[in-house]
Structure 1
Amino acid sequence: MNLLEPLAGDPAFRGVKPRLSSTRVSRVAPITRSGAQPRAIKGLQGMSLRIFPLAHTRIRFSRPNTSPPSPALIALLEMDFSPFFDCEAVLDKITLHVDDGIVEDLNTQDGMRLPLRCVAHDHVTFLYHLAPNRIEVAGRSSSRELGIAIGLTALVQPDGPNRCIPRLSMAWTAALDFTLPLNPGFGQPLTQPIQRSHRPSQLSIGGGGAESQSLVSPSVSRPDALPSLEAAAQNAAVADVPVPGFGITMTFVGPQQPVRAGEEFSWTVFVQHQHQHQRLQHPRAS
């Protein structure tokens, strides 16, 4: 079937009979586009839009060392304001929510209450006490999800006809685990360790005598413990020399009025030399 057969008698073709076979044409259904459908922007490869963050946030958890042990956690919410803005930012909303849990705000100081005004390079840490509503029973999962929501306002141009006050919101979730630690004593075992009778304080090189003493100081060989009584007695017998004092006294005096963040203040340092052989003639404060 020739789709262009009705145009065969058109004098504009000057006797040429156009032909288009119907087998070479496929039916295409029209597609209507809705006005709300987003379209990709093309041809803007040279467009450059620099975006810098206003603040970085993170949350850490610490378990308090209490007796008896408690499944509660201490949440440390840190906010670090970046140096890429020149205006003042107001932190006016911090919300923490735990399903089947209790959140206690520990920021009761006057300087930590919201709304809190911050500038670039500020680093603020907020403390919260997290605890489950009831004691966890055996077989019940102690995992929770902590919901965190933070609201910020950037005072770019708070006054004037061209007011610009952007509102920023951040929200995320963090996993919690209220499981009690396996060793609640944190380094204090329930049973006493095995002890040997006549245990030497340190190994010796020879069979005995002054030449068989260890060449390693107890403070180096055992940095996490105090020197033993035997080592202290041996050191006192070898050299009982008193440590001379330097005879220097330093006194620091701060301002009488309260010092607030962002305000300049000065310290007064008084250095006094009290050595019996040499004294400073003109001590001065700086």
Structure 2
Amino acid sequence: MGSEEQPRASLDFAESSVLEAIAPATSKVDIEEAFNSWDGTVEDEGASILPFVKQRHVLLFDELLPVYVVFRTPLLENEVLKSYLDRLAVSLDVFAFGTTPGPDQEAKALPKELICSETIKDTNEPTIVLHESGDAKHAYVFWKVEVAIARPQGRFHKPAIYFQPTASLKPDVTAKQNVSHNDYLPSRVPPALNLLQSFEHDPALAGIHPRLSAMRISKIAPSAPLAREMVRPIKTGQRPLFRAVPPLMWRTRFAKVHTSLADLSLMVSLDIEVAQYTSYNVRIKTVDLLLHGGDIKALTTVNTVATSSPGDQLSYLYKATPDLGPDGTPALGSQGHILTLNIEADILVSDGCQPHVAIQWKTAVDFASEQQSNLIKAAHRLSSASHAGSIKSPDSLPAQDTDEPNAPNDAINVTLTISGPPSVQVGELFHWGVFIVNRSDKIRRLAVMVIPKRKRDAHRPQPSASSIGGHSAEKKELLATAVLDENIIYGRQKGAKTEPTELVCLTTDIRLGQLAPGSCYTADLKFIALSAGVQSVESVRVIDLATNETADVRDLPSIVAVEKQPEGIET
């Protein structure tokens, strides 16, 4: 009999209770103290369940609004009321919609948007107030929830906001435990249908009576007393509409800094305007700009403690510099650098109402367009082509330029022993033996190549008069200084002489797979001398393919080439 009374009491509790959300007009309100001065009279039948609490008329976007979810129920014993509150699931949804249709909308279809949803957790302890007024005895339970009034994604004409609290009773755990779990042979319950009853008189079974209960393959539905508890949710009270306006508006503008091509910095101008139609003064506390994947520096200082009037505009100036990748372009691409704006302010609505506004806005910043990125990459390759360690392609070796200083000989920590014949004949192939030992403590992937000897040109062009003083010699630019005097280039091309080749290396390069620490390798370099005399090469360059570190060996064997004597002639 107790199991029948429990669902009935739960239904009475749900039908006689009311749930409502209230936004007080003052920032700090003591509802318990306000109950003591309330005589329980309600002037309007459709008024709020707390008519003595004055509510806001206008809400602000980006506001952190304290909202009270109030639950009114008939007065019960403390233990009974606490058992019901433990089973109560309460949530609060905040919706925004347009009160009037826009120019391109129909009057019948006014969309709404969910801008916030909060679930009251068990850790949020409610405040319970018992109130008696004549024959009316009620228990008021209210929770305080901090709601962020976010800006809707859609564009609404004359937006408004309303709160929709919902509550329902969860199934009683004690009622579930009292239900009998003897599903095999329940008392005074007819047995389930035997699915194998038609085979009972089969002569092949020789007197065996097979039985398969239908309960073994059918789904058991929950009992009716537990299911009825969730049929009716708790009804809600009035749902007032609040007009919503943005208190602050901002605009960001970006401008390129007129410096060298390597500097991708942008000047960021931030303008914050206090909305004039709100007629509220604003006290801005903090204004911060953060750049993900770069650095941002404030160039102006604005007093954020002073109070701003409606229509005032505050301007801030920043310099944003992105992190650069190996090729000189922004490290995170065109969409990876995120600019985050954080604004905190107090809106001075009245002496007792000063809502706190917290704004967080993000946008992607493109520091270099596609055309500019291609130009930067090309300029970076041209400026770093003379550096031996700048080429990262695994299928190519660093440029053969001996004018640049090389890495120290101990950077790779590999020893080379080169041996060759004392003399060679012109036009015949000869070999150099290269013995390589890895003296480092890690595996090396090496390449060996021969740098031919170059003819030194004593004449070096001087910069023209029009370019002297235009660029500082100490400042390292991404691009070289432009040559403005074409006569020097024309004179060098016209007076150039073709030098004959005296020594040719037939081995382009030698590549080693993986040379373990302490191991050695032997290779051959093939040469052919084309003229008699003492021949030489510039150096033998060793390159680490993993790190592109280079080292040149210049202490090489001498090559003495002699003319081949005709047969039959003795010297």
Normalised to the residue count of structure 2, the TM-score between the two structures is 0.23
Higher strand share: 2
Q: Which has the larger radius of gyration?
A: 2
* TM-score with structure 1 setting the length: 0.44
